[in-house]
């Protein structure tokens, strides 16, 4: 090999990049298995009730239609650990869009025609889909997403807040949001004659999908193979096994042929999760010098009647700023809505919009610069737990961001910068995301020809996982990165956790690091040439990751945004966004920058264009395609810059990395909202900031 070793952090080009842009990469709905049939799911068209009859004769008479699966004839499955996977098992319709049938045919068009030919009758029941602040169904759950306690109290918030000389009491309202990855959820399933199930699946973690399918179909895990070679984005909505994998496997079992099921975009909103809407009350009490004395962040949210998922939006308030007295709490109501789930930085993205907007309101009330206000309340230890931080780069990010952005000398008065009819303003907000890590397995193999092969069932959801894992291995093996092959995306490989919670690289990377280090040791003890089959070392980080860290471990960041608001049309354009992040050691500067910018762009969408509106009468979201659910286009996402502060943190993992997938979105919408407030003087406490709201 002629290449020099590239150090960790080098901008190594994505290994599968060329395959992806040339179409050579095969996604889960592109496997072209011989004899493959196509399936079209059938969503319930009532918001609540039960199916009284599904008449299939007309559909079955259509050319090409092979089967119609309903709750009456679908294979019976075992109870899944996630109730959203219990599909076609009974006549119950918990929400509009719940899948009640599946048509299987020779072509996708035949399957779709078959679905349209079904005659379905329902018995409807009254539905309740609207989250309100006084909803009688609101209750306090035990825990919220992530396993955090729903409520935390420190000191005496009420007394301290009443006594505070400067107070903010503001309520922020966020509607639901949908992840909408480019690749829809898709599974192609195939049973071999010996009863082995193979599923090509679009999920973020093939080990978990394998285990869920094994449970549902009452198989041993070694009787199921799940392949997720390429995944076209997920952002959390593919983080848990999704019903299309079960449906495709059921249909393949029923017909005896391979079956491909790619979710129609317009069906996705109901069955792939969403960021739950939140109503968030934030109260901040401060001394005149800006010292926070009391902080309360209380949220309400919805879940479905199928399962309890509670958006943990008040959790970041336990981490961010010092305050002797605090209360953070969540309540939730189970409505007749689709089940909410993970969407990029669940909890943090919503919660930090509210908290960082409130900080800006407090800065205005105090007459203190909003960067300075945050610096004055930067705590020495994690406020809620009292633990020391393993590293905390917030102040560094705020300072470096302010320098790079040109924040100094900003006139804080609103609505004074103009360019003709445009009002200009700037805003800042902080970002944070916790360090998660999970146990992983990996193997490292040295071949007789001097090359290496790493195997780990990691998933590349577009982030560059193969590339960074090759870098981690190469750094340990002291070999050029080109000399390392990385196999991921197949449940036959060593078990590994999902690509989620910004934990993939740290979790998989630790096991890769450990396997590679073990291999180096073994090779060092050897003399003479390697055997023909080479040498393989396997590793498991179960023991390393089991114990809770004595440190509070979080990534931090700071966003700066400049907006121009058209005073005639109410249109907001983001002229530039600048983020600085402190996320431990950055392992690949090219793919990391791409992740940060991607997160910031998603935050721009959250601020300006994205929203899912619940129609209370119809009982479903009105935006169900990319023509109505507006994600930012390239023309919207201009001037986005991401920088970072390299942190040396010995309390993380052998690479010293935190996680970068989600922090880019956290706080981004608040920075834009704060800039709009600076530009116009108008404080809108709801998103997105569309022209109708601004005028
Ligand atoms: Mo992320 S929302 O954990 O895929």
The pLDDT value recorded for residue 4 is 64
The CA R_g of the chain, rounded to the nearest whole Å, is 26
Q: Say how many Å lie between the CA of residue 363 and the centre of ligand 1.
A: 32
Separation between Cα atoms, residue 41 and residue 96, nearest integer Å: 13
Whether 276 contacts 343, CB under 8 Å: no
Separation between Cα atoms, residue 576 and residue 426, nearest integer Å: 10
273 lines ligand 1 (CB under 6 A): no
Q: Which of 414, 375, 424 is nearest to 398 (CA)?
A: 375
Q: Both 568 and 665 in a single domain? A: yes
233 lines ligand 1 (CB under 6 A): no
Asked if pLDDT for residue 1 goes beyond 80, the answer is: no
Q: Both 183 and 170 in a single domain? A: no
Q: Both 107 and 233 in a single domain? A: yes
346 lines ligand 1 (CB under 6 A): yes
234 lines ligand 1 (CB under 6 A): yes
Separation between Cα atoms, residue 102 and residue 253, nearest integer Å: 13
Q: Both 623 and 598 in a single domain? A: yes
Q: Say how many Å lie between the CA of residue 273 and the centre of ligand 1.
A: 12
Separation between Cα atoms, residue 515 and residue 473, nearest integer Å: 9
Atom of ligand 1 nearest to the CA of 499: 4
Asked if pLDDT for residue 245 goes beyond 70, the answer is: yes
Q: Say how many Å lie between the CA of residue 235 and the centre of ligand 1.
A: 5
Q: Both 305 and 369 in a single domain? A: yes
Q: What is the mean pLDDT of residues 426-445?
A: 98
Atom of ligand 1 nearest to the CA of 346: 2
Main-chain dihedrals φ then ψ at residue 505, nearest 5 degrees: -60, -40
> In testing the pocket of ligand 1, which one of 235, 273, 458, 465 has its CB within 8 Å of the most ligand atoms?
235
Q: Say how many Å lie between the CA of residue 237 and the centre of ligand 1.
A: 7
Element (H, E) at 507: helix 504-525
Domain boundary among 512, 539, 566: 539
489 lines ligand 1 (CB under 6 A): no
Answer whether residue 30 is part of any domain.
no
Atom of ligand 1 nearest to the CA of 343: 2
Answer whether residue 131 is part of any domain.
no
pLDDT in tens, 99-156: 999 999 999 999 999 999 999 999 999 999 999 999 999 999 999 999 999 999 999 9
664 lines ligand 1 (CB under 6 A): no
Here the tokens at position 49 are 């009730």
Residue 10 burial (CB count, 10 A) = 15
Starting from the edge strand earliest in sequence, which strands make up the sheet with 452-455, in order? 484-487, 452-455, 441-446, 535-540
Whether 154 contacts 328, CB under 8 Å: no
Q: Both 641 and 522 in a single domain? A: no
Q: Which of 166, 89, 205 is nearest to 456 (CA)?
A: 205
User: How many Å from the N-terminal Cα to the C-terminal Cα in the chain?
Assistant: 63
Spell out where 305-437 has E strands: 325-335, 389-391, 417-419, 422-434
Please tell me the chain's helix, strand, coil percentages from 3-state DSSP, rounded to the nearest 5.
25, 25, 45
- Residue tagged 């049939």 (tokens): 37
Separation between Cα atoms, residue 142 and residue 11, nearest integer Å: 44
Query: In sequence order, what are the residues at sequence separation of 6 or more whose Cβ sits closer than 8 angstroms to the Cβ of residue 45?
Result: 96, 120, 122
Answer whether residue 132 is part of any domain.
no
Asked if pLDDT for residue 2 goes beyond 50, the answer is: no
Cα distances from 76 to residues 48, 250, 538, 695, in angstroms, run 23, 9, 38, 55
- Return the DSSP state at 222: G
Separation between Cα atoms, residue 161 and residue 634, nearest integer Å: 44
**Which residue segment(s) compose the domain that 63 sits in?**
37-126+179-271
Q: Residue 6 — pLDDT band, cuts 50, 70, 90?
A: confident
Asked if pLDDT for residue 3 goes beyond 80, the answer is: no
Q: Both 473 and 617 in a single domain? A: no
Answer whether residue 418 is part of any domain.
yes
| pLDDT, mean over the chain | 97
Of the listed 260, 298, 610, 662, which one is catalytic? 662
Burial 586-617 (b: 16+ CB within 10 A, else e): bbbeebbbbbbbbbbbbbbbbbbbbbbebeee
Atom of ligand 1 nearest to the CA of 179: 2
Separation between Cα atoms, residue 603 and residue 557, nearest integer Å: 14
Atom of ligand 1 nearest to the CA of 235: 4
41 lines ligand 1 (CB under 6 A): no
331 lines ligand 1 (CB under 6 A): no
Atom of ligand 1 nearest to the CA of 662: 1
Q: Both 149 and 232 in a single domain? A: no
Q: Is 197 exposed, middle or buried (0-12, 13-18, 19+ CB in 10 A)?
A: buried
> In testing the pocket of ligand 1, which one of 208, 274, 500 has its CB within 8 Å of the most ligand atoms?
500
* Helical segments of 164-237, H only: 206-216
CATH number of the CATH domain containing 252? 3.30.365.10
Main-chain dihedrals φ then ψ at residue 246, nearest 5 degrees: -70, -45
Q: Both 44 and 191 in a single domain? A: yes
The pLDDT value recorded for residue 7 is 81
Q: Say how many Å lie between the CA of residue 666 and the centre of ligand 1.
A: 13
Q: Is 61 exposed, middle or buried (0-12, 13-18, 19+ CB in 10 A)?
A: exposed
Question: Residue 280: beta bridge partners?
Answer: 172, 299
Atom of ligand 1 nearest to the CA of 501: 3
Residues in the chain: 695
Q: Say how many Å lie between the CA of residue 500 and the centre of ligand 1.
A: 4
49 lines ligand 1 (CB under 6 A): no
Q: Residue 5 — pLDDT band, cuts 50, 70, 90?
A: low
Q: Both 564 and 686 in a single domain? A: yes
Q: Residue 533 — pLDDT band, cuts 50, 70, 90?
A: very high
Looking at ligand 1, which residue's alpha carbon is closest to its atom 4? Answer: 236
537 lines ligand 1 (CB under 6 A): no
Answer whether residue 135 is part of any domain.
no
Answer whether residue 32 is part of any domain.
no
pLDDT in tens, 466-484: 999 999 999 999 999 999 9
Answer whether residue 679 is part of any domain.
yes
344 lines ligand 1 (CB under 6 A): yes
343 lines ligand 1 (CB under 6 A): yes
pLDDT in tens, 304-347: 999 999 999 999 999 999 999 999 999 999 999 999 999 999 99
- Return the DSSP state at 317: G
Cα distances from 410 to residues 359, 510, 634, 672, in angstroms, run 17, 44, 29, 16
Whether 77 contacts 89, CB under 8 Å: yes
Q: Both 567 and 622 in a single domain? A: yes
pLDDT in tens, 345-388: 999 999 999 999 999 999 999 999 999 999 999 999 999 999 99
Half-sphere exposure of 427 (CA within 13 A, CB side): 35
Domain boundary among 481, 505, 539: 539
Q: Residue 690 — pLDDT band, cuts 50, 70, 90?
A: very high
Domain boundary among 486, 516, 539: 539
> In testing the pocket of ligand 1, which one of 239, 435, 602 has its CB within 8 Å of the most ligand atoms?
239
Whether 427 contacts 170, CB under 8 Å: no
No. of helices (H) and no. of strands (E), the chain: 16, 29
Residue 545 burial (CB count, 10 A) = 20
Asked if pLDDT for residue 169 goes beyond 60, the answer is: yes
Asked if pLDDT for residue 591 goes beyond 70, the answer is: yes
94 lines ligand 1 (CB under 6 A): no
Q: What is the mean pLDDT of residues 651-662?
A: 97
> In testing the pocket of ligand 1, which one of 178, 342, 462 has its CB within 8 Å of the most ligand atoms?
342
Phi-psi region of 619 (alpha: psi -120 to 50; beta: other; left: phi over 0): left
Domain tally, the chain? 3
Separation between Cα atoms, residue 457 and residue 227, nearest integer Å: 9
Question: Residue 169: beta bridge partners?
Answer: 283
> In testing the pocket of ligand 1, which one of 146, 233, 236 has its CB within 8 Å of the most ligand atoms?
236
Q: Say how many Å lie between the CA of residue 612 and the centre of ligand 1.
A: 19
Q: Both 105 and 115 in a single domain? A: yes
239 lines ligand 1 (CB under 6 A): yes
pTM beyond cutoff 0.80: yes
Q: In the chain, pLDDT over 70 holds for what percent of residues?
A: 99
Crossing angle of helices 668-680 and 348-366, rounded to 10°: 30
Q: Say how many Å lie between the CA of residue 69 and the centre of ligand 1.
A: 32
433 lines ligand 1 (CB under 6 A): no
Here the tokens at position 174 are 């966020």
DSSP string for 299-340: EEEEEESS------TTGGGGTSS--SEEEEEEEEEEESSPPP
Answer whether residue 322 is part of any domain.
yes
The pLDDT value recorded for residue 121 is 98
Query: In sequence order, what are the residues at sequence separation of 6 or more whose Cβ sits closer than 8 angstroms to the Cβ of residue 193?
Result: none
Separation between Cα atoms, residue 667 and residue 690, nearest integer Å: 18
pLDDT in tens, 622-633: 999 999 999 999
Interface confidence (ipTM) of the complex: 0.96
16 is catalytic: no
């Amino acid at each position: 090999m002629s290449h020099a070793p590239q150090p960790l952090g080098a901008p190594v080009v994505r290994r599968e990049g060329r395959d992806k842009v040339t179409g050579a990469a095969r996604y889960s709905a592109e496997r072209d298995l011989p004899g493959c049939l196509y399936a079209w799911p059938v969503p319930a068209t009532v918001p609540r009730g039960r199916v009284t009859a599904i008449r299939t004769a007309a559909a079955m008479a259509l050319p090409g239609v092979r089967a119609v699966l309903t709750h009456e004839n679908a294979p019976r499955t075992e109870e899944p650990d996630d109730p959203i996977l219990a599909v076609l098992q009974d006549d119950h319709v918990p929400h509009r869009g719940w899948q009640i049938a599946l048509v299987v045919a020779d072509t996708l068009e035949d399957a779709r025609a078959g679905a349209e030919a079904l005659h379905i009758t329902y018995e409807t029941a009254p539905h309740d889909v609207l989250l309100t602040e006084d909803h009688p169904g609101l209750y306090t759950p035990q825990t919220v997403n992530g396993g955090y306690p729903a409520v935390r109290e420190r000191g005496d918030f009420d007394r301290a807040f009443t006594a505070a000389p400067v107070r903010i009491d503001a309520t922020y309202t966020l509607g639901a949001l949908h992840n909408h990855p480019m690749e829809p959820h898709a599974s192609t399933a195939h049973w071999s004659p010996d009863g082995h199930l193979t599923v090509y699946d679009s999920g973020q973690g093939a080990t978990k999908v394998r285990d869920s399918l094994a449970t549902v179909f009452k198989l041993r895990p070694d009787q199921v193979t799940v392949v997720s070679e390429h995944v076209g984005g997920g952002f959390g909505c593919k983080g848990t096994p999704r019903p299309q994998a079960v449906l495709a496997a059921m249909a393949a079992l029923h017909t005896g042929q391979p079956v491909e099921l790619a979710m129609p975009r317009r069906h996705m909103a109901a069955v792939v999760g969403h960021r739950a809407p939140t109503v968030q009350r934030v109260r901040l009490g401060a001394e005149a010098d800006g010292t926070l004395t009391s902080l309360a962040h209380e949220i309400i949210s919805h879940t479905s009647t199928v399962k309890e998922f509670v958006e943990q939006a008040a959790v970041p308030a336990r981490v961010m700023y010092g305050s002797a007295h605090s209360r953070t709490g969540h309540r939730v109501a189970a409505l007749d809505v689709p089940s909410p789930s993970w969407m990029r930085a669940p909890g943090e993205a919503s919660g930090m919009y509210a908290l960082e907007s409130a900080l800006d309101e407090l800065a205005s009330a105090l007459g203190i610069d909003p960067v300075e206000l945050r610096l004055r309340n930067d705590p020495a230890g994690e406020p809620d737990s009292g633990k020391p931080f393993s590293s905390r780069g917030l102040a560094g990010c705020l300072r470096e961001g302010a320098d790079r952005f040109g924040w100094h000398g900003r006139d804080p008065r609103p609505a004074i910068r103009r360019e003709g009819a445009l009002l200009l303003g700037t805003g800042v907000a902080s970002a944070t995301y916790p360090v998660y890590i999970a146990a992983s397995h990996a193997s490292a193999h040295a071949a007789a020809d001097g090359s290496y092969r790493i195997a780990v069932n990691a998933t590349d959801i577009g982030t560059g996982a193969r590339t960074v894992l090759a870098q981690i291995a190469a750094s340990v093996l002291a070999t050029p990165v080109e000399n390392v092959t990385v196999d991921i995306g197949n449940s036959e490989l060593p078990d590994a956790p999902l690509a989620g919670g910004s934990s993939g690289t740290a979790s998989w990377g630790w096991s890769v690091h450990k396997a590679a280090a073990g291999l180096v040791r073994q090779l060092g003890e050897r003399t003479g040439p390697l055997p023909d089959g080479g040498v393989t070392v396997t590793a498991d980080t179960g023991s390393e990751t089991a114990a809770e860290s004595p440190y509070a471990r979080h990534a931090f960041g700071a966003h700066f945004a400049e907006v121009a608001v058209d005073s005639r049309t109410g249109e907001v354009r983001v002229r530039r966004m600048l983020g600085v992040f402190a996320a431990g050691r950055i392992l690949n500067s090219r793919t990391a920058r791409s992740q940060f910018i991607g997160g910031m762009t998603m935050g721009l969408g959250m601020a300006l264009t994205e929203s899912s509106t619940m129609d209370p009468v119809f009982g479903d979201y009105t935006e169900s395609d990319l023509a109505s659910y507006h994600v930012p286009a390239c023309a919207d996402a201009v001037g986005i810059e991401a920088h970072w502060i390299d942190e040396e943190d010995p309390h993380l993992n052998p690479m010293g990395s935190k996680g970068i997938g989600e922090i880019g979105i956290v706080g981004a919408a608040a920075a834009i909202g704060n800039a709009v407030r600076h530009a116009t003087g108008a404080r809108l406490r709801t998103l997105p900031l569309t022209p109708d709201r601004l005028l």
